[in-house]
Amino acid sequence: MKAYKPDVVLGMGGYVSGPGGLAAWSLGIPVVLHEQNGIAGLTNKWLAKIATKVMQAFPGAFPNAEVVGNRCVPMCWRCRCRSNVWLDVRSGSCVGSGWFPGRTHS
């Protein structure tokens, strides 16, 4: 992190966010969290105490966090339904359970 010198570190929860968030905080780099679930996970609860900003997908995970929702990547609208993906074009929602390959979307 010292070599890369990021402007901000984004934590999305899970155990891997803990060391990265703590390292950023110790170096004075702002930490921003996003809780994707309705109930905050242990790592995000812990990091929320040192985070510069906390956001959430659904109201209630954190009392004072901004509700921003979950982003659905455009790739999701082009995919064919598989057993672990559900598309509802009318409501604008897409739920995937991790089968998407890791990619950068802009």
pLDDT in tens, 32-87: 999 988 889 899 999 999 999 999 988 989 988 989 887 766 655 555 544 444 44
Provide the number of structural domains found in the chain: 2
2 located within any domain: no
Are 61 and 76 found together in one domain?
no
29 located within any domain: yes
Is residue 24 helix, strand or coil? helix
Kindly tell me the number of DSSP H helices and DSSP E strands found in the chain: 3, 6
Are 23 and 63 found together in one domain?
yes
First to last CA, the chain: 23
State residue 55 phi and psi, 5-degree precision: -120, 160
pTM (whole model) above 0.75: no
Could you tell me the residue range of the domain that residue 104 belongs to? 71-106
Are 19 and 62 found together in one domain?
yes
Q: How far apart are CA 62 and CA 13, in angstroms?
A: 13
Are 15 and 52 found together in one domain?
yes
Residues 52/28, Cβ–Cβ less than 8 Å: no
